[in-house]
Amino acid sequence: MNNIQEILQHNQSFVETKEYEKYTASKFPTKKMVIITCMDTRLVELLPKAMNLKNGDVKIIKNAGAIISQPFGSVMRSVLVAIYELGADEVLVVGHTECGMASLHAETMIGHMEERGVSKEVMSTLENSGIRLQKWLRGFDSVEEGVKGTVQVIKKHPLLPPNVPVHGMVIDSYTGKLDLVADGYEQQASL
């Protein structure tokens, strides 16, 4: 049985036994918060448990490294939708220890792409079209600095309401311990 078949088999039982009922929630986050965090597999259950979050409490956006690299890309658009359309009034960026983005090297990843069949011609076409793969695929040196950088991208966004606090944390991917690295309430107090 493959992964998709296993998922569908489980889902059939999940629906038939009405397991979904215990997850019923509104589309509006009860804690009025949107979280940007990493897609790391260790955070799937650890992050919500470490933060005492339940289904319906917050909006969670996941991507590689919890980084907003494009101020007008889909992650920032999702943050703005959460604020303007879904009632969020705080933003929290959560990076984590031992993040793969801290060790990501564009050259290595480009090599992996070529090994898996992406041609040098495609790479060349992208570069000639203005796509700078070396920049787009780069990671970061420090998780804390990556989080702080994303906090600043959000905070300085021209479409973000000035009264929305933007916080940053780093979670230990083993213990779940959270460290505050950017306090959005302090930033609001200084305005």
Is residue 178 a contact partner of residue 100, using CB atoms and an 8 Å limit?
no
Q: Quickly list H helices, the chain.
A: 3-16, 43-50, 74-84, 106-115, 120-128, 133-136, 143-155, 184-189
DSSP label of 45: H
Residue 70: band (very low, low, confident or very high) from pLDDT cuts 50, 70, 90: confident
Going across the sheet that includes 90-96, the strands are 58-63, 33-38, 90-96, 166-171, 178-182
Among candidate residues 125, 134, 153, 176, the one with its CA nearest the CA of residue 63: 153
pLDDT at 112 over 70: yes
Residue 39: band (very low, low, confident or very high) from pLDDT cuts 50, 70, 90: very high
Count the helix, strand and coil residues of the chain and give each as a percent rounded to the nearest 5.
45, 15, 40
Is residue 61 a contact partner of residue 35, using CB atoms and an 8 Å limit?
yes
d(CA 98, CA 101): 9
Residue 110: band (very low, low, confident or very high) from pLDDT cuts 50, 70, 90: very high
Residue 191: band (very low, low, confident or very high) from pLDDT cuts 50, 70, 90: low
pLDDT at 91 over 90: yes
* pTM for the whole structure: 0.91
**Sign of the torsion angle spanned by Cα atoms 81, 84, 86, 91:** positive
Helix (H, G, I), strand (E, B) or coil at 190: coil
d(CA 102, CA 65): 8
Residue 186: band (very low, low, confident or very high) from pLDDT cuts 50, 70, 90: confident
